[in-house]
Structure 1
Amino acid sequence: MSAQIPTPSALAQRFIAALSAQQFIASDGTTVTLDAMAPATFESALAILAGLTDYEIYLYLRDQLLELMVTTATVTPGTGLLPQHAKIWGVPRVGATAAVGYFLMASTATAPVTVPAGTAITVDGTVQWTTDNAVTVAAGATVSVAVTATVTDVAGNLAPNTVATLVSPVSGIGTVVSDQNGLTGGAPVEGVESWRARIIDEIRNPPGAGTVADYTKWAKDAGALVVNVVPAYTGPGTVGILFLASDYAVPSPAQVTAMQAAIDAKRPVRGNATVYAAEVVPQNPQIQLNPDTAAARTAVQDALAPYYLSVGLGGRVYVEALQAQISTAAGQKNTLVSPTQDFTLAANQQPVLGAINWGDAS
């Protein structure tokens, strides 16, 4: 609950009450009591000024106290202290990232063709990707070439199997197309609430020597949205780090490689930690609504979608929780036909709402 701040009028009345309690001895020996209630007097003007000044002080103190707490600090330029909290705790904001991935380049030449590092590729001329390294394409062969978008944010993401062209043609290179994973990983600067949550997590879970909390933090610092750290994932002494990228997207091989590099830079020397792309598993519950209306269907979908996301990687789906979400959204007369039992997903599986089957058990 926020502190109650007196109004300027109430603060002025306090000044008036304090002033009226003071008495002074005049030069002629008489006792004088100042009356700030009298209109158009110097005392009344002082009371108004004191009320306004004190009110501004209250506002300043309130705002500064809020900024001193990580839970309420802001990023307002000039006054927001969340960046300072982040600096103190060593949790920098995740900046906008560029999409990464692979293009397939096919040779039409009768001799090897070298494609230099930094060769620019585009689809429609608005966004470009450049090759990370120089590659040599054998005559008539097709080679997978690692690329990085020249811009950050989602603009550099590209669907799989999209035909592109070289900005400056290279003799002997024919078709250029994104591979089956497309170009992924382009994301905007981290949201304020996500940043705040990571700072709070750092405060609650101080760094250890490669604990589950450490690996989770390192993965999120590198841009993971959802992380599941599994000790002994492939045997004693190993650690599996399973993650999904922004918007619950399945990471591409290029993103997995980048995440592995980020983890390797921070893990303990003897930490045998391996990064894996997690899976998104659509859930298709069967629900009978009574009454079955378009509005009720929308309400149920809006309730179940966030619940499945909240389960997380390797989490457990509870039938009772599904029923509660349905009842809250559309009333008590609705039936969850399936699933009929609680179930736990694999460590690398993230449930999401798929297609709901609207009907009875028949």
Structure 2
Amino acid sequence: MSLVIPSLGELVERTRRAFAAALPGLDAWLWPNNIGPTAKVIGEGLAQLYGRMAIVERRRFIWSADWDGLIEHGRDYALPPKSAAVANGTVTLVAPGAVTVAAGAILTRSDGQTYVVPTAAALTAAGSLSLPVTAVTAGAAGNCLSGQALSATSGVTGTATFTVAVDAIVDGVDAEGRESYRARLLFRKQNPPGAGTPADFVRWAMSVPGVVAAYVERCWPAPGGLRVFVLADGSTGSAVPSPALVGVATQVIALQAPAGSVPMLVAPTALPIDVTISGLLPATRPVQEAVLAELRDLFGVRRARPSGGDTAVAGMPFLATPVTFSRSWISQAISAASGEDRHTLIAPAVDPIVPAGSIATLGNVTFL
């Protein structure tokens, strides 16, 4: 039975009636007397008590708890929220002459985001080299697309340009938010730990900062085997994780998996799907950008699911089953773009079938 919270006015009125019932002949509504102010004071105290009861009521269950309540539930399960993680990647240095980069050198992006070079490097003549870099501040803001220019702030002697390499700067994630944490707690409650069940592997993988989803393919490559696909943030149109993130998840699972088990933790292979759109109206740049944003979200978030050879089982949506990427999803995403009035989807011409071990990602988008 849900808790019904009376209003402050109702509580004051109840208190007046209680005075009138306890003191026959007293008119608790007549002014001036001290009953009215007393009723208001008592009503306010009761309102605060009811307010506290409402908070306790909400925090009883994971599905309705606020952040503090979720933290308490997490303590019961020894399942804390995931912390923020720093972005890592590689920068290409190009110099017209000799240049020295000291360990701890700082590179800066145009918006002020800074990166540290952990190891020293040097060129004795004109040339290029690759430098590992790590964002100074943890969070998704440290992620950088390939080709982004950086400038040297300190620790660099000589003239050089710095450009983010083709593998980009990735794996920076913000501290876990409320709804993501709520989903993990509900998953833990609905799937109690077993002796290495598929749900266990999903839970272990999902405990790694940067892993936003995990899917399991049983009996791979043979009965007794297991393949776990991990996915990363797909806001750029691809949920394929970096090798570094897969390596961290592998280490975490290795510490918790049953002795003797040999799970295979992998990143799904990207299957780029090119999209061709004809007759987009209005054919303006803002509408095209809105369409691109919707398609990135479709491929990287809403429909990001690896294809596998497992069999669908009720209550186990985390199994890696065969995937066919419906054209209707693409058309629906385009229609959802802000400002879009109409369009014709030319390609893909049929529903793409995603091979086992792969995941559909956004390829080239062409507007005719």
TM-based fold match above 0.5: yes
Evaluate the alpha carbon distance shift between residue 6 and residue 320 of structure 1 in structure 2; reply closer, same or farther with a 3 A threshold. Answer: same
Give CA-to-partner distance per residue, 1:13-51, whole Å, 9 cap, x none: 22233333335xxxxxxxx43221221112233322232
Evaluate the alpha carbon distance shift between residue 142 and residue 252 of structure 1 in structure 2; reply closer, same or farther with a 3 A threshold. Answer: farther
Q: Which amino acid aligns with 1:317?
A: F
The aligned counterpart of 2:359 is 349
Q: 1:53 aligns with which of 24, 45, 56?
A: 45
Q: 2:77 aligns with which of 76, 89, 106?
A: 89
Distance 2:331 2:152 in 1: 52
Where does 1:152-231 land on structure 2 (aligned, <5 Å)? 152-160=138-146, 168=155, 179-222=165-208, 223-231=210-218
The aligned counterpart of 1:36 is 28
The aligned counterpart of 1:29 is none
Distance 2:259 2:77 in 1: 23
Q: Which amino acid aligns with 1:50?
A: I
Distance 1:5 1:38 in 2: 27
- Does structure 2 conserve the Cα–Cα contact (< 8 Å) formed by 1:98 and 1:151? yes
The aligned counterpart of 1:27 is none
Q: Which amino acid aligns with 1:203?
A: K
- Structure with larger Rg: 1
- The size of the alignment, in residue pairs, is 336
Relative to the length of structure 1, the TM-score reads 0.71
Report SS of the residue matched to 2:365.
Answer: coil
The aligned counterpart of 1:244 is 231
- Does structure 1 conserve the Cα–Cα contact (< 8 Å) formed by 2:107 and 2:150? no
Report SS of the residue matched to 1:81.
Answer: helix
- Does structure 2 conserve the Cα–Cα contact (< 8 Å) formed by 1:101 and 1:253? no
Give CA-to-partner distance per residue, 1:338-358, whole Å, 9 cap, x none: 656555423430444863656
Q: How far is the alpha carbon of 1:175 from its aligned partner? A: 9.5
**Residue 16 (structure 1) aligned with residue 16 (structure 2):** yes
Q: How far is the alpha carbon of 1:328 from its aligned partner? A: 8.2
The aligned counterpart of 1:128 is 115
**Residue 68 (structure 1) aligned with residue 60 (structure 2):** yes
Evaluate the alpha carbon distance shift between residue 336 and residue 202 of structure 1 in structure 2; reply closer, same or farther with a 3 A threshold. Answer: same
Evaluate the alpha carbon distance shift between residue 286 and residue 210 of structure 1 in structure 2; reply closer, same or farther with a 3 A threshold. Answer: farther
The aligned counterpart of 1:268 is 258
RMSD: 4.6
Q: How far is the alpha carbon of 1:239 from its aligned partner? A: 2.3
Q: Which amino acid aligns with 1:256?
A: V
Q: How far is the alpha carbon of 1:194 from its aligned partner? A: 0.9
Evaluate the alpha carbon distance shift between residue 272 and residue 16 of structure 1 in structure 2; reply closer, same or farther with a 3 A threshold. Answer: same
Report SS of the residue matched to 2:264.
Answer: strand
Q: How far is the alpha carbon of 1:142 from its aligned partner? A: 9.2
List alignment gaps of at least 5 residues for structure 2.
95-100, 308-322
Distance 2:18 2:363 in 1: 65
Q: Which amino acid aligns with 2:37?
A: A
Give CA-to-partner distance per residue, 1:106-131, whole Å, 9 cap, x none: 9xxxxxxxx99x65463669623344
The aligned counterpart of 2:272 is 281
Evaluate the alpha carbon distance shift between residue 178 and residue 55 of structure 1 in structure 2; reply closer, same or farther with a 3 A threshold. Answer: closer
List alignment gaps of at least 5 residues for structure 1.
24-31, 107-114
Q: How far is the alpha carbon of 1:53 from its aligned partner? A: 2.2
